[in-house]
Structures are given as structure tokens and as C-alpha cells.
Amino acid sequence: MTTLLFDLDGTLLPLDLNTFLKGYFEALVPRIAHLVDRRKIVDQIMQATQAMMLNEDASFTNEEVFKASFFRIVDVPEEQIWPIFDAFYREAFGELRHLTQPSPISREICRTAVDKGYQLVLATNPIFPEQAVRHRMAWAGIEDIPFDLVTVMETSHFCKPNPKYYVEIMDKLGVTPSQCMMFGNDIQEDGVAGTLGMQTFLVTDWLVDHGAPHIAFTHQGTLADVRTFVQSLPDMA
């Protein structure tokens, strides 16, 4: 094993996803309410997000898929509303930190893995732009960790739970499933890595289960257990 993949939301960044999304939309919608129907816009954003998650065409980035779907649904010119989204992620998104519960354990885990010589991937579901991911990394205290890859919507072509999301990561890093372990709190989205032959570690503090069938995880435990596990890994050197 050479490569450790870590989910962000609910894993390295402890949070309740429903609480976070509620606060996210409460912050975003007033900024665009003069351009859209505020009674429909949350559902319209979620429809475009679902289009990203269902995409199977590697010739389009997640951002391109989102835009194509969103602007089919919402009758607003891109040049009128997209700069507002960009400004929101640069500025107001950073104020949502109070909706999360960061743990110093996350930094310890990542720092230990780096010191031992492992490749690190921040394998967060790439449905947010890079600026939003960087904010969340800062909240988790891992903004300066030298990840070999951070998945974001601008450069990723697939989303969890599509196995192609993990294949794309492996292709970019030139590794095989047997060289990788995926750590995450979502039974389906993170557990699907196991169908490719990766080892998997279910992080149970903020567990998410969509109820769909899944294969068993290789390991499971709390974020503190992940720290102990990573500390026990052999040095790559």
C-alpha cells in the first residue's frame, strides 16, 4: 500500500451533512434571489448536482455538466449569475465554519501519513468548486498538508459513488487498487472503492448510510481509531 485516500465532509471535517447543507443554502439563496425563483432554486441546484453525479461521459468536467444542466433549468444568463456564485465561494462560504466540528485528530492523521512517505489524496466528492474545498480544508486544519491530489469539480469528471471517480484518481497517480486505501464515513459513496479492490476504512463518527446494498469494509472505527491505524503503518522508506 502506497496511497491513502481521505474523504473530507464527515471524515477529516466532522459535520452533520443535513445541517451543513441547510446553512449553505440559507447563505447562498439570498444572494441570487433577485435572479431566480427562490421557491425553486434549491431543487434546481440539486437537480444540476444530480446530473453531475450521474454523468458517465469523461469528456466533460463536473463543472461543465453542472452548468449545462443548471442553465437548461434556470432561465438566467451564465454571465449574470455565475460571478455571484464565484464571489459567494470566495467570501461568504468561509463563514460557514460554525456549521462544522473540526478535530485536531485530522491534522495528526495527515501529518503522520506524510511523514511516513505515503501519497495522500483528498478524495472529497467533487461537487464543489476548488475555492469551497480550500475553505473546508482550512476549517479542518489541513490546508497546508501536501496532498498529491485534491478532487474538485473543475478538474474531476465523475462523482461518488461512481467507481469511475476512483479509477480517475488512480489513473492520475499511476497506482493500482491494491496500492490504495479509502477512508470515509459514507457507506455507499466511500465503500464503492472496495468493489475495485481497494482496502476501505469506514469512519463511524458521522456515519452516512443511504440504505443501498454495499460490500463490507476492510476496517472500521472512529477518527481516533484511524489515527492509531495510520500510526501503525510501516514507513514507506
pLDDT along the chain (237 residues), means of 10: 98 96 97 95 97 97 98 95 97 96 98 98 98 98 98 98 98 98 98 98 96 92 98 93
* Phi, psi at 132, each rounded to 5°: -65, -35
Q: So what's the pLDDT on residue 166? A: 98
Taking the C-alpha atoms of residue 202 and residue 218, their distance in angstroms, rounded to an integer, is 8
Q: So what's the pLDDT on residue 213? A: 83
User: Hey, what CATH topology would domain 3-15+101-232 get?
Assistant: Rossmann fold (3.40.50)
Q: What are the angstrom distances between the C-alpha of 19 and each of 22, 90, 96, 195, 215?
A: 5, 21, 11, 30, 28
Residue carrying C-alpha cell 455571484: 84
Q: So what's the pLDDT on residue 30? A: 97
Give the start-to-end residue ranges of the domains of the chain. 3-15+101-232, 18-97
Q: Are 1 and 176 within 8 A, CB to CB?
A: no
Q: So what's the pLDDT on residue 227? A: 98
Q: So what's the pLDDT on residue 214? A: 87
Element (H, E) at 24: helix 17-32
